[in-house]
Amino acid sequence: MDPLSTVPGRRRFLAAAVGLAATAATAAGAPGVAAAADPERLRVATFNIHHGASPADVLDLERVARVIEAMEADVVGLQEVDRYWRRSGFVDQPGWLGERLGMQHAFGANLDLAPEEPGRPRRQYGTAVLSRRPILSWSNTRLPLFPGHEQRGLLRATLELRGTRVTFAVTHLQHDDNREREQQSARIVELLGSSPERTVLVGDLNAVPEAPEIRTLTGVLDDAWPRVGTGDGFTYDAVTPHARLDYLLASRDIRPLTAQLRTADPAASDHLPVVSDLQVPATRRRR
């Protein structure tokens, strides 16, 4: 006979002690137990920089840099970015902005053309990511293209947030063909997944929120503006805004906290930038 079975009080005391010890080990992060970490706060922005030119076509990339700097964003998606074009002084704009702002950068060249002058690098045009968080990897995928139109793409970067990885994507959809935009949006959903996690998509989508191509995207991603923005959110044109064309979209597991237009210098580009604070769930770590 088990000696403890003859001492009911002692048996109950030992069982309770074992249970308390197990609970304490779990709370302390015993080996093999998943520990919940605090969510990360991430400030994201989108900005169509019009190759650094104002609505009056005055080139001033430093002015664009000051607008980006004032947003204090962790990561920014840019559209209409030049590399080595005569119209923008043959500057590598993503590289220049990255150095000027102390941010890492990735560039998606949707156009890759012969140089405009002998001995110059090939001229490129597309989208870019500027990030204060480490960019672990990036890729650019071309989107559906109708004959005679401009090639568009989806630039995706994997960011490191203290152990949590986030997919940050930026795009710029076709400006004058809704059928093409619908195909481009459908392809973006294929690339990001029908149930993405820890994913942010920003860009100039060239369509209003009620358009089918936008609804394709908001079928899998949340539009931050109607949830936490104030007012109409019009981003185009910058001087006399009358349409919301620029978006910050996030996967369902990300919580938008704020969404704002930045209007301090509306003539820096022909679009207004949008900035949003997001709460990103941390990856559960095993101890």
pLDDT of residue 285: 61
More confident residue, 13 or 36: 36
Question: pLDDT tens, 169-186?
Answer: 999 999 999 999 999 999
Which of 5-19, 98-112, 218-232 has the weakest average pLDDT? 5-19
Mean pLDDT of the chain: 90
pLDDT of residue 18: 41
Rounded distance between C-alpha atoms, residue 6 and residue 13, angstroms: 13
Q: In the chain, pLDDT over 90 holds for what percent of residues?
A: 85
pLDDT of residue 25: 41
Q: Which of 246, 200, 201, 250 is nearest to 222 (CA)?
A: 250
The pTM score is 0.87
Q: Which of 228, 225, 186, 229 is nearest to 202 (CA)?
A: 225
pLDDT of residue 35: 56
Number of neighbouring beta carbons within 10 Å of residue 100: 16
Lookup: tokens for 69:
């700097």
Rounded distance between C-alpha atoms, residue 237 and residue 122, angstroms: 31
pLDDT for residue 244 is more than 80: yes
Question: pLDDT tens, 62-74?
Answer: 999 999 999 999 9
Distances (CA, A) of 94 to 104, 131, 161, 239, 277: 9, 11, 22, 25, 23
Is the link from the previous residue into 74 a cis peptide, with omega within 30 of 0?
no
pLDDT of residue 283: 83
Burial classification of residue 64, based on how many CB atoms lie within 10 Å of its CB (0-12 exposed, 13-18 middle, 19 or more buried): buried
Question: pLDDT tens, 144-156?
Answer: 999 999 999 999 9
- What number is the average pLDDT over the span 226-245? 98
- What number is the average pLDDT over the span 23-41? 59
